[in-house]
């Protein structure tokens, strides 16, 4: 089953598990197994470094009976959130729920709780879950492990612990800001994405969750990563809110040279909007988790690249030196943009990546995969270093993830709000780009200089008018691809030689 279908299924399962039926204290809470062991981020890093010097070994699978659960049987068992969560009935501001393995998750992960410098392994306990009478009898082992976990805290209302982060499956995790619903995901590392020899998906194999000390509002999670090509030691310092921010420190130890690696990879879905609406017979005006790739490059430009759902795989590389940040954003945030009361796409978060140090030369890479249904995750974005990662080295990357509205540094330019594209009666296409009303713009829009370019075909000089709904300028121009199957376009507003808008980039492809 596709990963997005799995996430939809788990979201529904979470809603079931969170229903306030159980009385707190009437059921068991997680217990530990074995003796506590000293733990620090340094010991985790040393362990990952030592593993990288040894051949990769496949992790054992959970018992066959768990792997063979049907979809309905898997759903018949769920964690008892309101009674059995870690730190229930304590003054710790967080609650941790666990997911059982099996079906789509044949490899379990070990989860540890760290307190006062010691790590205690959480035992697998079926008593933490509720089930229907259709759930079969399965072999049990407290050392089996879980498939992942989720974090909850009093995000909006006192006494109500709401879910805001999930870590489950390979190195995937996702989070949201206050008032939002889950959308795009992140990963620990991407290897050979869209490569001819196939992509490699590293796994987080073990987690350590630090119990926050009194007065701390953040929570820290550590993770061990393993794959045929590399190992890694990750630390996540999580600050829930709006936006929810996660400070990441990643140490990557390649087993062999990796030429195509993605740092801070993001995974999302884009099906259609006003640029390709004609390809979909749907009651909604748009369907997407995010609608654009935003980049602040090392040269000081702010670039907006609307996402596309091409008919053939396409990869775009934005060459840069020491990027200031990048992310997949959702600028369509009104209900009327989607008219969907179930998916609530207008509440999906954007995710902005801010490097913690200079990342040097490389590319912000965007992968767009053809999709015909919204269950497919068809968008990937990441930072690809120009130099390959060498075996035996310790590569450190730090960055901040901001899940919510655009959390970029304030820019004195007008943002792109929307892009529309459609055929002309006399041939060619019309493009309109709506910019927000910004203080950087002149009162008289006729003073704006319009900079429009394309690498193929022909285009008009364009006109600019004020959009009566947004109050900002709308740039409109026509283009004719002629014989080209793909056209790269660029547009920007300037005033007296100054950049006063984001740089709009778009790749048109023949359907």
What does the pLDDT look like over 272-321, one tens digit per residue?
Answer: 999 999 999 999 999 999 999 999 999 989 999 999 999 999 999 999 99
CB atoms within 10 A of CB 36: 16
Rounded-to-integer distance, Cα 184 and Cα 194, Å: 19
Chain-centroid distance, C-alpha 345: 15
Tens digits of residue pLDDT in 121-172:
999 999 999 999 999 999 999 999 999 999 999 999 999 999 999 999 999 9
Strands (E), 52-146: 77-79, 94-99, 110-115, 118-122, 129-131
CB atoms within 10 A of CB 400: 18
Tens digits of residue pLDDT in 91-106:
999 999 999 999 999 9
- In DSSP terms, 366 is beta-bridged to 316, 381
Q: CA–CA distance from 285 to each of 245, 272, 304, 370, 376 (Å)?
A: 31, 8, 21, 19, 18
What is the length of the chain? 511
What tokens does 181 get?
Answer: 């619903």
* Ramachandran region, residue 106 (left: φ > 0; alpha: ψ -120 to 50; beta: rest): alpha
The three-class DSSP label of residue 248 is strand
Contact 200, 229 (CB under 8 A): yes
Q: Is the pTM of this model over 0.85?
A: yes
The pLDDT of residue 230: 98
Rounded-to-integer distance, Cα 308 and Cα 315, Å: 11
Rounded-to-integer distance, Cα 449 and Cα 236, Å: 45
Contact 475, 432 (CB under 8 A): yes
The pLDDT of residue 408: 52
Mean pLDDT by groups of 10 residues along the chain of 511 residues: 50 44 65 96 98 95 95 95 94 96 95 97 96 94 95 93 96 95 97 93 98 90 98 98 96 97 98 94 97 94 96 96 96 96 96 96 98 96 98 97 70 90 93 95 96 96 96 97 95 95 95 78
Residues contacting 300, CB < 8 A, separation 6+: none
Rounded-to-integer distance, Cα 108 and Cα 169, Å: 9
The pLDDT of residue 406: 53
CB atoms within 10 A of CB 50: 11
The pLDDT of residue 365: 98
């Amino acid at each position: 089953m596709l990963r997005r279908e799995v996430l939809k299924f788990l979201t529904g399962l979470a809603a079931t598990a969170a229903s306030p039926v159980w009385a707190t204290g009437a059921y068991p809470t997680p217990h530990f197994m074995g003796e506590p062991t000293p733990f620090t981020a340094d010991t985790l890093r040393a362990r990952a470094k030592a593993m990288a010097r040894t051949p990769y070994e496949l992790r054992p699978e959970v018992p066959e009976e768990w792997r063979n659960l049907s979809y309905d049987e898997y759903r018949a068992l769920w964690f008892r959130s309101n009674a059995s969560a870690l730190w229930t009935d304590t003054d710790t501001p967080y609650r941790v729920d666990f997911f059982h393995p099996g079906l789509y998750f044949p490899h379990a992960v070990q989860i540890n709780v760290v307190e006062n410098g010691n790590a205690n392994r959480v035992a697998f306990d079926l008593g933490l879950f509720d089930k229907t009478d259709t759930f079969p009898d399965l072999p049990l082992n407290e050392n089996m492990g879980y498939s992942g976990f989720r974090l909850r805290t009093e995000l909006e209302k006192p006494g109500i612990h709401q879910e805001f982060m999930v870590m489950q499956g390979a190195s995937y995790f996702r989070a949201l800001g206050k008032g939002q619903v889950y959308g795009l995901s992140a990963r620990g590392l991407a290897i050979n994405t869209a490569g001819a020899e196939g992509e490699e998906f590293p796994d987080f194999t073990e987690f350590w969750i630090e119990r926050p000390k009194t007065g701390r509002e953040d929570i820290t999670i550590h993770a061990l990563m393993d794959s045929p090509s590399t190992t890694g030691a990750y630390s996540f310092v999580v600050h829930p809110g709006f936006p929810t921010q996660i400070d990441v420190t990643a140490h990557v130890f390649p087993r062999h040279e990796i030429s195509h690696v993605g740092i801070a990879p993001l995974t999302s879905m884009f099906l259609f909007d006003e640029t390709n609406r004609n390809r979909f017979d749907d009651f909604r005006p748009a369907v997407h988790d995010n609608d654009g790739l935003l980049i602040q490059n090392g040269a000081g430009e702010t670039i907006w690249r609307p996402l596309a759902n091409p008919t053939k795989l396409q990869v775009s590389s934005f060459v840069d030196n020491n990027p200031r940040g990048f992310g997949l954003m959702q600028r369509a945030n009104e209900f009327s943009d989607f008219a969907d009361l179930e998916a609530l796409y207008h509440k999906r978060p954007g995710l902005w990546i801010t490097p913690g140090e200079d990342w040097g030369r490389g590319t912000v890479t965007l992968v767009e995969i053809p999709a015909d249904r919204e269950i497919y995750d068809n968008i990937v974005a990441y930072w690809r270093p120009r130099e390959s990662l060498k075996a035996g080295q310790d590569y450190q990357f730090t960055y901040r993830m901001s899940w919510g509205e655009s959390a970029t540094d304030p820019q004195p330019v007008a943002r792109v709000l929307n892009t529309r594209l459609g055929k002309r009666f006399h041939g060619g296409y019309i493009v309109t780009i709506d910019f927000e009303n910004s203080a950087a713009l002149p009162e008289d829009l006729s003073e704006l200089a319009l900079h429009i370019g394309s690498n193929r075909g022909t285009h008009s000089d364009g006109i600019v008018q004020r959009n009566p709904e947004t109050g900002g300028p709308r740039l409109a121009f026509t283009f004719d691809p002629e014989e080209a199957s793909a056209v790269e376009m660029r547009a920007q507003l300037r005033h007296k030689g100054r950049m006063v808008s984001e740089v709009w980039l778009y790749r048109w492809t023949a359907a």
